[in-house]
């Protein structure tokens, strides 16, 4: 019999394990979630885990900062494998793990207040070009913000120069130099 869990690699409580019990669990900041992670980067209802065919399937629930499996942002449901790294946004990193259990064995669970050292991080398996991954989308790129102030100032200066040039062209074309500029010689 196998039992599944998440081990927090980085986030507010590194080393804490989250046993995954049940057919459907939600991950999020709200305390009503099966996996509750109190961090501003995690949405109230961030992701959903569904137990299907002896495996957990994870999907993002429209979270603000995204759900990633092995560095790839989820665009649909993905089946988790032991050793997969699940990230919620950029700061929260969870290791998905399967534990083979003896049903007759006595279990000892660590207290949540005790600091538990996480096991060494495993490298994610390489993804080869021959293995299609339609459920993944490319990771988000940071949007570069453009400062619009110089553009508005430049546009305003250009408009002012055009207006001045138009005015002087009109004065010259209608012979009104003496009307607008009586101090000129010859007026």
Q: Are 15 and 115 in contact (CB under 8 A)?
A: yes
User: pLDDT by residue (tens digit) across 87-121?
Assistant: 999 899 999 988 875 556 555 554 554 455 666 66
Pairwise pLDDT comparison (80 vs 185), residue with the higher score: 80
Query: How confident is the prediction for the chain on average, in pLDDT?
Result: 82
Half-sphere exposure of 12 (CA within 13 A, CB side): 11
pTM of the predicted protein model: 0.53
Tens-digit pLDDT profile for residues 116-145: 566 666 666 655 555 555 555 556 666 667
Show Cβ contacts of residue 90 under 8 Å, excluding neighbours closer than 6 positions: 41, 65
Predicted pLDDT at 137: 59
Sheet of strand 47-52: strand arrangement: 35-36, 24-28, 47-52, 55-60, 78-79
Q: Residue 80: its pLDDT value, please?
A: 94
Q: What pLDDT is stored for residue 1 in this prediction?
A: 44
Q: Give me the residue label for tokens 């700061």.
A: 91
Q: Which residues contact 81 (CB under 8 A, 6 or more apart)?
A: 55, 96
- Report the alpha-carbon distance of residue 168 to residue 8 in Å, rounded: 72
Q: How far apart are CA 90 and CA 96, in angstroms?
A: 17
User: For the chain, what percentages of helix, strand and coil (3-state, to nearest 5) are there?
Assistant: 15, 30, 55
Please give the pLDDT value at position 138. 58
C-alpha angle with apex 119: 100 to 75, nearest 5 degrees? Answer: 80
Task: Render pLDDT for 22-68 as a digit per residue (tens, 0 to 9).
Answer: 899 999 999 999 999 999 999 999 999 999 988 999 999 999 999 99
């Amino acid at each position: 019999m196998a039992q599944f869990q998440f081990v927090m690699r980085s986030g507010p409580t590194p080393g804490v394990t989250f046993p995954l019990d049940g057919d459907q669990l939600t991950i999020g900041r709200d305390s009503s979630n099966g996996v509750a992670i109190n961090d501003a980067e995690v949405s109230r209802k961030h992701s959903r885990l569904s137990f299907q065919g002896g495996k957990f399937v994870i999907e993002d629930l429209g979270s603000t900062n995204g759900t990633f499996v092995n560095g790839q942002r989820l665009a649909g449901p993905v089946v988790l494998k032991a050793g997969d790294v699940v990230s919620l946004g950029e700061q929260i990193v969870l290791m998905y793990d399967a534990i083979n259990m003896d049903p007759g064995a006595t279990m000892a669970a660590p207290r949540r207040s005790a600091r538990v050292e996480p096991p060494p991080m495993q490298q994610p398996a390489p993804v080869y070009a021959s293995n299609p991954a339609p459920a993944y989308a490319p990771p988000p790129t940071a949007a570069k913000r453009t400062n619009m102030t110089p553009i508005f100032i430049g546009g305003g200066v250009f408009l002012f120069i055009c207006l001045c040039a138009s005015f002087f062209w009109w004065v010259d074309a209608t012979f009104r130099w003496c009307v607008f500029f009586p101090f000129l010689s010859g007026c």
